[in-house]
Structures are given as C-alpha cells and as structure tokens.
Amino acid sequence: MATIAALVLGLGLTTTTADAATPARTAAHPGIWLTPTSGTVSPGGSTKTTLHSDEPVGLLTVSGAPPGVTMGLSNPDPIYVVFYVSPSAAAGLYVITFSANGSSAKYRLIITTGDD
C-alpha cells in the first residue's frame, strides 16, 4: 500500500481506504500514470480517475485545478482521485497536473455548461 503525504494547493482533501490491484508497469507507464486521463462533468457533479505508481507515493503535488473544484483521495495503491465540481464552477477545459516520485501525469477535466 502506498503511504501518501499530500500537498494539495487550493484543493480540499479527503482520505478513505479501498482495495484494488495495480496494473503491471509498462514502458508506456513509467513513474505515475492515470486511468482514465480525462473526464467530463457538469457543475454540481463529480468525476474520478485512478493514479497508479510503480513505487510507493511519498509526496503528491497537484496543480491546475480551477476555483470551485475540490478533490478527494483514497489511500492505498492505486490512489483513487475524485473531483467534486461546485455548481458555481466555470465551464471549460482544465489540465490538472499530478507530480510524485520524480514524474508527473496530466488529467484533462472538462466542465460543461450544465445546460443539457
């Protein structure tokens, strides 16, 4: 299981526990990687991704989240990341960068207008 000390700039943090197997490391996935790498959400909703690592995560930094988006993390390996989008969050495409263990991974968060 990964031990995580999270430094999260401008985001809320919640920890929970969950069990899951880590996918095998491949040349296409060195260091840390996300599955999926993007998500679409309406204001007031949430979306999630899974952060995988080829070694325990000691320090995780996150940048690029817009105002009105908070994040929850689970703590074993892999790490589940849930993005909660407030009803007042601005629509648009945001690239959120996760950095840990000397590598980084990008997540494309698409917030719709909510006018379906």
Question: Which regions of the chain are under pLDDT 70?
Answer: 1-30, 115-116
Note the pLDDT of residue 43.
Answer: 96
> pTM surpassing 0.85?
no
Our measurement of the distance from residue 14's CA atom to the centroid of its chain's CA atoms, rounded to an integer in Å, reads 12
Dist CA 49 CA 38 (whole Å): 8
Alpha-carbon distance of 57 to 3, in angstroms, equals 6
pLDDT value of residue 28: 53
What pLDDT shows up at residue 76?
73
Please tell me the distance from the alpha carbon of residue 45 to that of residue 52, in angstroms, as a whole number.
24
> What superfamily does domain 5-16+32-111 belong to in CATH?
Immunoglobulins (2.60.40.10)
Position 9 scores a pLDDT of 34
**What local confidence, expressed as pLDDT, does residue 58 receive?**
81
pLDDT digits (tens, 9 = 90+) for 61-80: 999 999 999 999 987 778 99
- Residue 51: the pLDDT is 94
